[in-house]
Chains A and B, each alone.
Chain A
Amino acid sequence: MDKDLILDLKNLVVRFETEDGIVHAVNGIDLEIERGHAIGLVGETGAGKTTTALSLLRLVPKPPGVVECSKMELDGKDVLNMSVRELEQTRGKDISMIFQDPMTALNPVFSVGEQIAEAILLHENVSKAESMKRAIGMLELVGIPAERAYDFPHEFSGGMKQRVVIAIALACHPQLLIADEPTTALDVTIQAQVLDLMRRLREQYKTSLIMITHDLGIVAEICDEVAVMYAGKIIERGTLQDVFNRTKHPYTEGLFNSIPNINDRKAMLTPIKGMMPDPTNLPEGCAFEPRCPYAGEDCKRPQAKRDISETHSVLCCAYDRPGFHIDRKERS
């Protein structure tokens, strides 16, 4: 039986053609997401996470951006060849996005209630009064009292603003929600409140979710699956169990070793040596090869995806070597 895919993305390539050279931001990504699933897109600054998300909304600025792919289907609809009108109907309705910085995502001259109502008015055939009523309902859903609907963004704190942004994103019950570092700008106790809210709303509406983050802790809390990105490629993909407990890619291992372990404070951190390669000048082979402790001659040629199991795949040719394994222990 075919899987019920909410997103089917094949071979996405995004590059920015600038005066200083071509920035290869995304270099061939396949991303399939089953309806109702939550996938964490993990990686460091410059890995291409946000660019991938923006391509799904067709929000990559052009020029200098060039987006190519062989397939980009959202709930069976071809996003890449949509007309502007179709796109407008899709954005905010079928797919919506929560941006990282709630301080700049809201319009300062409209009340928060109006901003939520705007999304509803745009996509649904309702009266203005009805849309405001629903906007107030959404506010209460995200834990903001109804009487604050007519307040303006500057009257809210960061955590409250992010709740408003979430309310806007969910106002039309999208099929797919993209959350780009939704809690990075927030304090931990507020982050805990917002994550808790997102988890409850996701259960309630059965929304599929792409969670973009650099924090593996957040992924462990909210996602079912993980895709680890490095230099514009997904280098490891699997369920939470696959990636956290049966780690296969040396970069993923490096990420885990870089995080201070709360239970073992004496352990020295094992950082990944060096830095991410220049995206205008990527190596032909594995982009992680210059930093990889397991690198060999075979890593200098282009890598092919390797399936470890039904759910788990990795982009690393070292597994061609007989008996190769990374140091991180498998756990059950």
Chain B
Amino acid sequence: MADVILEVKDLKKYFKTKSGMLHAVDGISFSIERGKTLGLVGESGCGKSTTGRAILRLIEPTAGQVLFEGKDVSKLSRHQLRLARKDMQLIFQDPFSSLDPRKTVAQLIAEPIVVNRIITDKKKLDERVAELMYTVGLAPRLFNSYPHELDGGRRQRIGIARALALEPKFIVCDEPVSALDVSIQAQILNLLKELQQDMGLTYIFITHDLSVVNHFSDDIAVMYLGQIVEKAPSVELFDHPLHPYTEALLSAIPIPDLSERRERILIKGEITSPINPPDECRFYKRCNYATDACRKNPQLREVKPGHFVACNRLEELNRL
């Protein structure tokens, strides 16, 4: 049987706003096998970051279960949660605002170890920090530097070292390379991939950049307005997208290759409001194939082994 490290069941996160309930994450379920990467893609406001945070319980889920190695994270006490967080870490998007500007590189990397009282001996702590710096490719001379002296790529390496400091099993990477230039982005992506191979890490990789996620993930889940509309192994998803939204999203990527001129599928309008969404397909208003059949909310169902889609008209459109 597959070794499932994380299982999410019908996770919901609603925010109360003046104009009504905002359905940021609206009933999503998935599981990840140990050592694999799940890419979570979608456009701004689709709930991908909220999902990542709700899994780590950095925000309290409204409903649903998050089973990490069989334990329900959403039911842990504060103390138990603190212990569990050693195994589950987060790498933030913005290396410019996620680091305390008054701490040195060494202090920043040591912080999680000190807070959790893993190593109390000063000399051993320095050794461990030096080891972590080596692992993420930070030169030893940066030991006493401050974040403002470093460029985005190096800062992101600090963020990665902090996440690794407690030897986690599972890391949520929330847009870890979006703020970086391509040449630096490639360095960080390669580093994350090497770390995964060396340490057997499991990742959720949250991004809006489809070419990055394709490169990086084993499975990809596409989110739209708080729901997963399609989930499949990366190759399958890119070769045979079944949901009209996935299809449009993929065709919208500008490809830096002249031999590949594709027909672009433009979708009309913009993302609709997540506040009190009607009980119909969330993509209904923008979908090029929408009919009255789409006025009920479709279930995510397995249509091919490993390939899940939430679309009412799938059979009718003959896309399989």
Binding site for B on A (CB under 8 A): 44-45, 157, 159-160, 187-193, 195-196, 214-221, 240-241, 244-245, 254-262, 265, 268-273, 275, 331
Q: Do the beta carbons of A255 and B182 come within 8 Å of each other?
A: yes
**B127 part of interface (Cβ distance < 8 Å):** no
- Which partner residue on chain A sits nearest B256 by CB separation? A216
Contacts of A331 in B (CB 8 A): 259
Contacts of B187 in A (CB 8 A): 271, 273
23 A-B residue pairs with Cβ-Cβ distance under 8 Å, sorted by A, are A44-B183, A45-B181, A187-B44, A188-B252, A189-B248, A189-B267, A190-B43, A191-B252, A192-B251, A192-B266, A217-B254, A220-B258, A256-B256, A258-B183, A259-B211, A260-B214, A260-B216, A262-B211, A265-B215, A268-B190, A269-B186, A269-B190, A275-B184
Q: A187-B271, A218-B254, A269-B189 are in contact. List 9 more A-B contacts (CB 8 A).
A: A44-B182, A45-B181, A214-B182, A220-B257, A260-B211, A260-B212, A269-B186, A271-B183, A272-B183
Q: Do the beta carbons of B254 and A258 come within 8 Å of each other?
A: no
Partner of A265, one of B151, B208, B234, B258: B234
Q: Do the beta carbons of A160 and B183 come within 8 Å of each other?
A: no
Q: Do the beta carbons of B270 and A160 come within 8 Å of each other?
A: yes
**B29 part of interface (Cβ distance < 8 Å):** no
Min distance, Cβ A246 to any Cβ of chain B, angstroms: 11
**B153 part of interface (Cβ distance < 8 Å):** yes
A160 to B268, CA, bound (A): 12
Q: Do the beta carbons of A196 and B258 come within 8 Å of each other?
A: no
**B163 part of interface (Cβ distance < 8 Å):** no
Q: Do the beta carbons of A190 and B270 come within 8 Å of each other?
A: yes
**B235 part of interface (Cβ distance < 8 Å):** yes
**B255 part of interface (Cβ distance < 8 Å):** yes
A257 to B238, CA, bound (A): 21
Partner of B190, one of A159, A160, A192, A271: A271
Q: Assuming A214-B181, A260-B211, is B151 touching A275 (CB within 8 A)?
A: yes
Binding site for A on B (CB under 8 A): 43-44, 151, 153, 181-187, 189-190, 193, 208, 210-212, 214-216, 234-235, 238, 248-249, 251-259, 264, 266-267, 270-271
Counting from the closest, the 5 A-B pairs by CB-CB distance are A217-B254, A260-B215, A271-B186, A216-B256, A187-B43
Contacts of A188 in B (CB 8 A): 43, 208, 210, 249, 252-253
A142 to B216, CA, bound (A): 36
Q: Do the beta carbons of A265 and B214 come within 8 Å of each other?
A: yes
Min distance, Cβ A299 to any Cβ of chain B, angstroms: 18
Q: Do the beta carbons of B182 and A259 come within 8 Å of each other?
A: yes
Q: Assuming A160-B270, A268-B190, A271-B183, is B256 touching A241 (CB within 8 A)?
A: no
Min distance, Cβ A181 to any Cβ of chain B, angstroms: 13
Contacts of B189 in A (CB 8 A): 260, 269
A259 to B253, CA, bound (A): 13
Min distance, Cβ A108 to any Cβ of chain B, angstroms: 20
Q: Do the beta carbons of B256 and A275 come within 8 Å of each other?
A: no
Min distance, Cβ A15 to any Cβ of chain B, angstroms: 21
A216 to B210, CA, bound (A): 15
A148 to B319, CA, bound (A): 38
Min distance, Cβ A190 to any Cβ of chain B, angstroms: 6
A157 to B270, CA, bound (A): 8
Q: Do the beta carbons of A241 and B258 come within 8 Å of each other?
A: yes
- Which partner residue on chain B sits nearest A191 by CB separation? B252
A140 to B153, CA, bound (A): 42
- Which partner residue on chain A sits nearest B255 by CB separation? A217
Contacts of B183 in A (CB 8 A): 44, 254-255, 258, 271-272
Contacts of B256 in A (CB 8 A): 215-217, 219-220, 244, 256, 259
